[in-house]
Amino acid sequence: MTAREVVERVKAHVGVPWNDQSYRDTFKLGDPDGTVRGIATTMMATFGMLKRAHEQGLNMVVTHEDTWWNDRDDTKDLTDNPLYRMKREFALKNEMIVWRIHDHMHAMRPDFTVVGSLRSVGVKGGENATMRPGVLTIPETTLGEFASQVKRLTGSRAFRCVGDPKARVSRILLGPGYATPRMTAGVDVVIGGEQQEADGAFDDAEYVRDAAALGMPKGLIMLGHVVSEEPGMEDMANWMRTFIQEVPIRFVPAEEPFWT
């Protein structure tokens, strides 16, 4: 089958009306009519991820985030960039094709990015979650113990926490990527992918610091964008296998970019 046929199969099963005006959910690299030998799902089409997919014989990449270092995958200013040329030439030489699914994935019910993120941090009850899953309850623990659980389960090297590690917490609100929720009175811990530390619409980090100073049990855990959404692309691979059996489909992680 061709990459275009793979996309048409996805459109037929995604469960929401397809918006052809989306600049995100389009082909980013390669020939849409090229033959697909295998499909890799991933959070971000990094050079390292493309190489690992190629080594596994997977020449179509279904990515959630961008390929060319900006949300619109605009390459007009990159034609003389040596990294752009090397990445593009590697992909084309190996007949690789990159297609992005972002907007429609977040519109799906369930939203795999949220389901996978909740599972990855050990919070149950989000198996059918959408982009705004609401508050979920865990057995009461301390913020420090919960953060240790998140680190162990995700394997993250560099996620960040705000709040008193001894604070007793049980009410969790999560949003992956840029969808970090606003801290509210009915929430103990907000988990997000990324957010401005200051000068944003609502500064969770400063709010939690003030709450901690007043003895209120509040916490913030920032996983990083990739760590927060990557598990959902494994779910995407599992879902695609239910209606595409002609070629192998595997999850190939982009992997956490940060270290300390």
What is the distance between the terminal CA atoms of the chain, rounded to a whole angstrom?
43
Give the C-alpha distances (Å, rounded to integers) separating 61 from 130, 195, 198, 241, 256.
24, 28, 36, 14, 18
Confirm whether 3-108 and 112-226 share one CATH topology.
yes
In the prediction, which pLDDT does 146 show?
98
Angle at 118 between CA 116 and CA 124, to 5 degrees: 115
Q: What is the pLDDT of residues 77-115, one digit of tens each?
A: 999 999 999 999 999 999 999 999 999 999 999 999 999
Residue in the structure block whose two tokens are 């691979």 = 237
Give domain 112-226's CATH architecture. 3-Layer(aba) Sandwich (3.40)
Identify the band that residue 11 occupies on the pLDDT scale cut at 50, 70 and 90: very high
DSSP state of 243: T
Residue in the structure block whose two tokens are 């080594």 = 55
Identify the band that residue 55 occupies on the pLDDT scale cut at 50, 70 and 90: very high
Is CATH 1.10.10.10 correct for 3-108? Answer: no
| Domain boundaries of the chain, sorted by first residue | 3-108, 112-226
